[in-house]
Amino acid sequence: MSKIKRVVAREVLDSRGNPTLEVNVITDNAVAKSFVPSGASTGSHEALELRDGDKARYGGKGVLKAINNVNTVISRKLTGMDCQSQRKIDELMIELDGTENKSKLGANAIVGVSMAACKAGAFHKNMRLFEYIKEISGSKKFSLPIPQLNIMNGGKHAGIDNDIQEHMIIPVKFKTFSEALRAGTEVYHELGRLLKKKFGSQGILLGDEGGYVPKIDNVDGRLELIDRAINNTGYKNKIFMALDCAASEFFYSDYYKIKGKEYSPGQLIDFYKKLIKSYKIISIEDGMAEDHWNGWKQLNKELGSKIQIVGDDLLVTNVDRISQATEDKACNALLLKVNQIGTVTEAIEAANLAFKNKWNVVVSHRSGETEDSFIADLVVGLNSNQSKFGAPARSERTAKYNRLLSIEEQLGKKAGFAEF
């Protein structure tokens, strides 16, 4: 047993230059550190990210209130606790907060402490973080994930309204994670070359998740170029495509609007069907808006047997919403973001519920990220089969890929590679 002596947070910056928390869980002979990510196309049912609202600092985005909560009430409550009692630590913080959406203490405060405590627990158990997560989650084995790489950014991540947010590639037909990552990265670079040729230096500007943001208005035009990059690199039939539409961002109570064109839910599904046919799309995330359950049911009914239908804003890593979605047959895969729900324990419960329903689980970053690579250990420890960590560029993204490369090497022959 190793007792927590103190928990200390400080205000630092995320990859967008917005303030976030660094949290340190201090034990007798260790300091375990975490950094808290932050979304832009945030689901309205997510746990609440507490911001100061004081316009005189960072335009109101400061996190000093959340930091104060860590340094005072949370630290006092956790002092003396065994850092290996992850569930107890998380439950105590949930109780201390007492609200439905962690709005009193702030989900950003709570999740930072939860992740740092998890790292402290692993250290004192003399385990690598992914091994410790395997143990506390009850998962049966390790596996390296198939990566979803977001190589062209749109929507909120590129400052564009009414737009598809993410155009991703999935290197499926490879024997190892490192091979899949290499192939995906080669496509990313080839896409950069094609864009530079077509649009000059304006074509290779990057969005929040490291993907290119060329001036191509129609989705077809974007996917066509990605398809060409896949073919040029010789990965036809080995690398497929995926979309995160983030449809809540272009939903107007009963219709959707993409690039000035309006779609009824049925027309939107037909639009997706056309794209799937033309571009080997094998996964669509948030194809419908977060509370448009009928739209989701229809989408999953028409496409769920053919491709992966992923719920992000729909599910917000919340077991109640996942249960509802399994009952309604609204989707067939979970996007898992620890900060959407606010503790490691609850995120593990969400993943386990999804596994129980034979869903795929995609462990995901946020568009605002940091150097913390916690989610790389999480995806391996949970034995979930996919990761979504952005483009293979920008250090806040490559920190996760590089950690996965390291884990793959550490595990050697024991490193299983997931199947799609």
Binding site for Zn ion (CB under 5 A): 244, 285-286, 312
Closer CB to ligand PGA, 2 or 101, in the complex: 101
Q: In the annotation, is 55 catalytic? A: no
Under the criterion CB under 6 A, does residue 347 sit at the interface with ligand PGA? Answer: no
> Which does residue 364 bind out of ligand PGA, Zn ion, none, counting CB within 5 to 8 angstroms by kind?
ligand PGA
Q: In the annotation, is 285 catalytic? A: no
CA atoms of 180 and 419, how far apart (whole Å): 12
CA atoms of 335 and 381, how far apart (whole Å): 16
CA atoms of 219 and 168, how far apart (whole Å): 12
Under the criterion CB under 6 A, does residue 42 sit at the interface with ligand PGA? Answer: yes
Which candidate in 46, 186, 190, 209 is catalytic?
209
CA atoms of 410 and 399, how far apart (whole Å): 16
Residue nearest to ligand PGA (CB): 39
Closer CB to Zn ion, 186 or 312, in the complex: 312
Cβ 213 to ligand PGA, closest distance in Å? 15
Structure tokens at 185: 């990265």
| E strand map for 139-249 | 143-144, 146-153, 166-171, 239-244
Q: Mutual orientation of helices 129-137 and 344-356 as an angle, nearest 10°?
A: 60
Closer CB to ligand PGA, 246 or 415, in the complex: 246
Supply φ then ψ for residue 206, to 5 degrees.
-110, 145
Binding string, residues 12-41; x marks residues near ligand PGA by CB under 6 A: ---------------------------xxx
CA atoms of 33 and 23, how far apart (whole Å): 6
List the one residue from 185, 308, 364, 398 that touches ligand PGA (CB under 6 A): 364
Applying CB under 6 A, the span of 111-119, 137-145, 221-229, 361-369 interacting with ligand PGA comes to 361-369
Contact 370, 35 (CB under 8 A): yes
Backbone φ/ψ region at 279: left (φ over 0), alpha (ψ -120 to 50), beta:
alpha
Residue tagged 């995120």 (tokens)? 347
Cβ 388 to Zn ion, closest distance in Å? 8
Cβ 153 to ligand PGA, closest distance in Å? 10
Under the criterion CB under 6 A, does residue 246 sit at the interface with ligand PGA? Answer: yes
Residues near ligand PGA (CB under 6 A): 39-42, 244, 246, 312, 364, 366-367
